[in-house]
Structure 1
Amino acid sequence: MKMHSQRGLTLLGVLVTGVLAAFVLVVGFRTVPVVNEYFAIKRILGVLADEADKGASLIELRRGFDRRGQIDDIHSVSGTDLNIDKSGPRTVVEVEYTRKVPLLANVSLSIDLNPSSASR
């Protein structure tokens, strides 16, 4: 009779795999609101760039961002943070900001974001 080696995970392997999976899920769930806000900001910047190309002033663009930001529940950025460049053929509206996402206890994730209307 031949002996076959057994295959599978040991108890330690299952525990390590479970801890890693739990960590990935926590990071994923905590970053979903940041990603949603990023895409909302990017969408608003595209709309503002189109309005600027049609002749809207800088003050109107900043106020427009604040109004749309209230609707989309944006708290990381305000209209005063926008960088608006009307020097080229198309207006470019962008903003640079950092979001800090608390993960566990005193461990947090810092995410640098730079949405722009240039990639519309």
Structure 2
Amino acid sequence: MKTLANRSRQRGLSFIGLVFMVAIVVAVVAVGAQSVPIFLENQAIKKAANKAAAEGLTVAEVKASFDRAAAIDDIKSVSGNDLQVTKVNDKVVVGYEYSREIPLVGPAYLVYRFKK
């Protein structure tokens, strides 16, 4: 009788629980692995936009400078034509807006929206 009481007090993770936890970890790692390049590209876009704003004086110069940097850094999400170039107090300000999607399952997507 004492062994039956000890058996009911056992704690731990069952096999099905372990499989469920592994599935969740794999899903998180898979989404994370697809998200890293998106965030790295966003950093490259920020860098190229800031560089283009510093180098260019006209809208055409800013867009051309961004396109040169985009070719070097392999930026595909934004081109020079997608930039919003304005002047504030004689300073060139470059903005952009874009989104990227990661397909999850069936019709479900994870959407990242970036705006500067």
Please indicate, yes or no, whether the TM-score normalized by the shorter chain is above 0.5: yes
Q: Mark the CA change 1:88 to 1:6 in structure 2 (over 3 Å): closer, same or farther.
A: farther
Range with greater deviation from structure 2 (86-95 or 101-110): 101-110
Unaligned runs of 5+ in 2: none
Q: Quote the residue 2:32 is aligned against.
A: 28
Partners of 2:27 and 2:83 in 1: how far apart?
A: 34
Q: Quote the residue 1:71 is aligned against.
A: 72
Unaligned runs of 5+ in 1: none
How high is the TM-score relative to the length of structure 2?
0.84
- Residues matched between the structures, number: 112
C-alpha RMSD of the superposition: 2.0
2:55–2:65: 8 Å Cα contact kept in structure 1?
A: no
Deviation, structure 1 residue 63: 0.6
Structure with greater helix share of residues: 2
Q: Quote the residue 1:47 is aligned against.
A: 51
Q: Quote the residue 1:100 is aligned against.
A: 101
Deviation, structure 1 residue 105: 5.6
1:100–1:111: 8 Å Cα contact kept in structure 2?
A: yes
Percent same amino acid among aligned pairs? 35
How high is the TM-score relative to the length of structure 1?
0.82
Partners of 2:39 and 2:86 in 1: how far apart?
A: 25
